[in-house]
A and B are shown apart, each in its own frame.
Chain A
Amino acid sequence: MPVNLDGIRTFARLAQNPAELARHARGNIELWANLFVIGWAIAFMLWQGAGFAVIVLTVFAIWAILAVSLNLVVGFTGLLSVGHIGFFGLGAYTMAILTSDPAYEQLRTEAIPTFGWTFFAALPVCIGLAGLAALLVGVVFNRFRDDIFVLVSFGFAIIAFNVFLNLRSVTRGAFGIHEIARPQIGNWVFDGEVEFLLLGLAFLALVMLISWFITTSSFGRVLTAIREDEQAIEVFGYRATHFKLAVWVISAMMTSLAGGLFASWTSFIDPNSFILLESVLLVSIVILGGLATIWGSLLGAMAFVLLEEGMRFIPYLPTEYIGQARQVILGILLVLLMLFRPQGLVGRYRL
């Protein structure tokens, strides 16, 4: 049974008993990983001050939602999907088109349909559309496994990117969509960064709760069995394809939720946010943090965000190379993980 709140439990125990800590810490990579990332996060936030911390945490919340929902597919079901960026983009574009300011959009030469809805009205549509798309894609993809699944999921990401870039009458292509509305309840607009952060964390909590509910149920146990041996679990009376399809759709819906949130937060999106590379980075977050644990995904997302922000303070590193340097480090980390720790930092499943 995957123990999801392991990190928190460990800390709770350690806080009470320093002697236990010393004994436990020796050679325990999980503990060190937890301590390192959380310690780094706290130190960083304290050093940089509240304003910056809020932004970092918001980015973290969005990546964490993505990582937790992708972990359902990669870690628990064993389908290495590199295509989830497609659902992220679908959510973001749906949100953008439904909520962008019609008055502003009319000024552009190439008009796209605008609706001017509010965030909370558009969110169910985002999720529903992604669920529908995932259902269609999943029916086709359900038959593929292992590396062929990786290949077709690459394909999905590329097809999705092509649609975002080239379906100009809907997405305005490379120009992107501006003036996406911030969330709003009645007259209260989530305008400030702190309010938005709270909203993001609330959604993250919701996604974690759903993931926890799924993975601790019998359904979750069947998923892990499918990951281990799909044919064997069929013999015991489960229709593996249905279970895979269900978790794929759920995961895609949660991913598109993150997409909607992202669009609303940045208030401007263009196809460059949804390139294949982002998807690969997302997969590396999930693997880095730990497969088949929810806590691991949080840890991976936090490490990833801190890696980028921390890079800013490396002397002699020109700012335009920060993204690349992070990518190099992530790549090397992936290789090292696969060599020495194929389950990731705190994972429960080795690839």
Chain B
Amino acid sequence: MTGNDEALALQTEGISKHFGAVRAVDELSLSIPRQGTTSIVGPNGSGKSTLVNLLSGVLPLDGGMVIIDGVGLRVVHAHETPDHGLTRTFQEVRLFDQITVWDNIMVVLTDRRLFSSLFERIRPANRRKAQEILESVGMWEKRDSLAMELSYGQRKLLEIGRAMAMDVQTYLFDEPFAGLFPQMLERVKDIMKQMRADGYTIVFVSHNMDIVRELSDRIIVLDSGTLLAAGDVEPVLGSAEVIEAYLGA
């Protein structure tokens, strides 16, 4: 069992979340292996985004346990998730709107401790890293404009860049492809392929089945807050119950 845990990046044991009478996530147990790309799919309202919010501590758990990198947590504090090697992007892009693109990246590269951050100016290493990331997402020229002035696609890219700057093992991308033009879409796909090749664990939520087929090694299908199927892409997507959930929904 322990040997198995080593290979898992993320695991949940019977986690639940209710909004009033609605069971958004209901006694869900799943596991996501280390490295490779895992996609989470499911009809609208099946609890995909809630799951990501629970894993990253943005929403408090109503029950169950999240195991990140072998550490079991009954309460996930958002500010502790980077220590466990986890970061995320948001479905509705949540950048720091009224500060510059440059500061949006710098803010995740700096010291987390209160007092040392007070005495920290921009370090050369961080400067180089921020430049690297901004160049890789094609935003270096835009570094001095405010995040709110960017186009939607650029905002999406910048958010992915901000997550990359965290440099952790596991990345949760919530709908990284939604609403992107084809050109931008290719760019995000390339970034994710590169990250996969570099040995990071990528978990992403998407509606676009073509991209899911193209990118993911494993797939998790959710339906009304429960696990419908999980495993390799083609067998899962070909199975009768998954087809029924999609067409019946």
Contact = CB atoms under 8 A, between A and B. Distances in A.
Establish whether A and B are touching in the complex (CB under 8 Å): yes
Interface of A: 1, 213-214, 216-219, 221-222, 224-225, 227-229, 231-240, 242-243, 246, 348-350
B103 interface: yes
Contacts of B79: 234-235, 237-240
Nearest to A245: B114
A350 B81 contact: no
Interface in B73-102: 78-83, 87-88, 90, 94-100, 102
Given A222-B110, A246-B114, A235 B81 contact: yes
A242 B118 CA distance: 13
Contacts of A231: 58, 78, 94
A278 B8 CA distance: 59
A228 B83 CA distance: 23
Residue among B56, B57, B83, B98 having the largest count of chain A Cβ atoms under 10 Å: B98
Contacts of A227: 98
B121 A235 contact: no
Contacts of A217: 117-121
Interface in B112-159: 112, 114, 117-122
B107 interface: yes
A228 B96 contact: yes
Residue among A224, A234, A235, A242 having the largest count of chain B Cβ atoms under 10 Å: A235
Contacts of A246: 114
B94 A243 contact: no
A239 B78 CA distance: 9
A38 B56 CA distance: 50
Given A1-B103, A234-B78, A237-B112, A219 B117 contact: yes
Interface of B: 56-58, 78-83, 87-88, 90, 94-100, 102-103, 106-108, 110-112, 114, 117-122, 162, 166
Contacts of A221: 99, 103, 106-107, 110
A98 to B, nearest CB: 29
A43 B118 CA distance: 40
B124 to A, nearest CB: 14
Residue among B90, B112, B117 having the largest count of chain A Cβ atoms under 10 Å: B117
B111 to A, nearest CB: 6
A179 B249 CA distance: 80
B143 to A, nearest CB: 11
Contacts of A234: 57-58, 78-79
Nearest to A78: B98
A202 B67 CA distance: 55
Given A228-B96, A236-B108, A237-B83, A222 B102 contact: no
Contacts of A235: 56-58, 78-79, 81-82, 87-88
A310 B79 CA distance: 51
Contacts of B95: 228-229, 232
B114 A236 contact: no
